[in-house]
Chains A and B, each alone.
Chain A
């Protein structure tokens, strides 16, 4: 049971906002029920299409076979496309940030957002199983932020992001950083409607990470290697890591930064400015 509003919300995600004590939105596990509602029209349409094409009912002795040929992630993908249109219509550049826990995603945002400058409004959706810690760190920068607590969930989905984006004051032309739940496996499969996926690894993790978690690196558009200031103290071969990442995904863009010291940040910020301009155009 939710200890704020008393409703029973076992398992569902909850949105919260720093500075608005008591404010929260439950995305009930009917979360998925919501999709069905909102998308009834689409869902039916798709099914009927499938029916028409396949003429697909076959009576078997024991029952009737119904051919569905439906993508399992259809509901999430439909919602993600809706988010994508919503972002594009506002000139918002949405970036999905993915990594293991502790790679420095929040620190990277703390460094990046002030560096972007006043003419580049930023906003953040923070995904964590529990706590408002990351949202509070972002709130201290004075930019709009919503925390999504996924509870037992191991990834953000398109419904959570769509709702969070609508609950925040998101200026037109902004860059929206979506910091996914720290996890290199599950979030790879769930499209949120982002323009690009950015995977972050740190030099304390091991240069074979791209080979060990290929799905994530295959899905990503950009890889940021963080904590380069620690390179003198760890056995991490940057070139080997880059080579491993390119084996998995030869289209992957590559940045090397230290969010702690600011080393390498210029190239990342310049790239972001370029993407923001392209999104507005």
Chain B
């Protein structure tokens, strides 16, 4: 359940930014969590829900976007969609894949008042 520590980091970072902006509460929190980030979105949602009680984030609406994972074959340079860290190149069958996207784990924005 590393999602709990991740939720705690998110709340800490948002709290810091909200205080800097002089905000009294956060209305929305927008996260980007890639399918290869190693984070389970339902567990993260649960962690945020539990840990945000009593914080500036208590009433924030949570928006999580999960971009598509993409990889490039290191043998023939074909780009293709990934479901896991490993995949067979649809063009040449190689498993030597470079992950181009899908590992994102970031706070993209907040709406404050």
Contacts and interface: CB of A to CB of B under 8 A. Distances in A.
A75 to B, nearest CB: 6
A277 interface: no
A132 interface: no
Contact of A64 (B6, B20, B113): B113
Contacts of A218: 85-86, 99
A211 interface: yes
A32 B12 contact: yes
Interface size grouping (class) on chain A: 35 or more
Contact of B9 (A73, A153, A187, A247): A73
A201 B60 CA distance: 42
A157 B1 CA distance: 14
Contact of A247 (B12, B95, B107): B95
22 contacts: A32-B9, A33-B12, A36-B16, A43-B16, A62-B113, A63-B28, A66-B21, A67-B108, A68-B13, A69-B107, A70-B107, A72-B31, A72-B105, A73-B9, A189-B2, A189-B39, A215-B36, A218-B86, A218-B99, A248-B85, A249-B85, A250-B74
B20 A47 contact: yes
Contact of B86 (A35, A153, A247): A247
A33 B113 CA distance: 24
B2 A155 contact: yes
A66 B16 CA distance: 12
Contact of B110 (A44, A65, A157): A65
Contacts of A60: 111
Given A43-B16, A185-B38, A66 B96 contact: no
B5 A153 contact: yes
Given A32-B8, A215-B36, A218-B86, 8 more contacts: A36-B12, A68-B14, A68-B106, A70-B106, A155-B2, A190-B2, A215-B85, A248-B86
A119 interface: no
B86 A69 contact: no
A246 B95 contact: yes
Contacts of B23: 64
Contacts of B39: 189
Interface residues of B, number: 38
A72 B31 CA distance: 9
Contacts of B14: 68
A62 B38 contact: no
A214 B13 contact: no
B62 interface: no
Interface string B74-113: 1000000000111000000001100100000111111111
A71 B21 contact: no
Given A68-B17, A72-B9, A76-B9, A189 B111 contact: no
A154 B21 CA distance: 34
A243 to B, nearest CB: 9
Nearest to A183: B2
A113 to B, nearest CB: 29
